[in-house]
Amino acid sequence: DILDPYFFMRFDVYANGQLPSADMRIQSFHFAGGFESSPFHNKDRFLVQDIPVRVDYKGVAELPQPDQPDSLVRFISREEGTYPMFRIAESQLIYSTSDWFSQLQERLNNIDACVWNTLVDFFMRRVEHHLADYGAAVYRDDIIFQRIALAGFIRGLSSALFAINRRFEPSARGIMRLLFDLAELPEGFDGRFQVLLEDGQNAERRFEIADMLTRSTLNLVMAHEIL
């Protein structure tokens, strides 16, 4: 639905060597309107017949090795989660000069259990970190830090649950749509998570719910002997 504010077309361009300059890209996309190029990231945005388009340029050397847990953890520590791998695994290949991207997709779709376990461990540590921050912010009645810590907790917990289910996570826009359909969720997850998101809950109650969600997720992890 092009009227949906979430709608846009995304293209990921993976390349070796120097990327074309913003000026050269503007000339290449002469047919587009509203061209914008980020001075901080290799990203372009523009309109094609009123359809929003985003192009992200990435160096091949920046990508992690799917069969190396340390490589993946170093990579996702700079990201919000496994969304970059989701984009690779779920992408439809339009053009390539070799088969390296198809091979990368195949490797991502056949990640070893030990790699998933490392990701779960990484995300659960992130969850516990944000939970501790949230508890401290509640104790200090620090409203701003409460919101920041709670947002980090929600994102970290979502990342952990997708990893437990051996799935890469979608963008933040798609988490709500896919999270509740995961096959393995902690006991009482639906109700507790909804309470966590509701307006009107006091901070102490939210912290109790967050703590219960953390404990039940750890129980789920241990039940599957993931860690």
Q: Return the pLDDT at 10.
A: 93
Average pLDDT for the chain: 90
**Position 125 pLDDT exceeds 70:** yes
Put simply, whether the predicted model's pTM sits higher than 0.85 gets the answer yes
To the nearest whole percent, how much of the chain has pLDDT over 70? 99
Over the stretch 154-210, which tens digit does the pLDDT of each residue have?
Answer: 999 999 999 999 999 999 999 999 999 999 999 999 999 999 998 888 999 999 999
Contact by Cβ (8 Å): 211, 218: no
What's the whole-number mean pLDDT along residues 91-115?
Answer: 90
Residues 85, 119: Cα–Cα separation, whole Å: 12
Sign of the alpha-carbon torsion through 171, 164, 176, 155: negative
Q: Return the pLDDT at 226.
A: 55
What's the whole-number mean pLDDT along residues 83-104?
Answer: 91
Residues 6+ away with beta carbon under 8 Å from 138: 146, 203, 204, 206, 207
pLDDT band at 79 (very low <50, low <70, confident <90, very high): confident
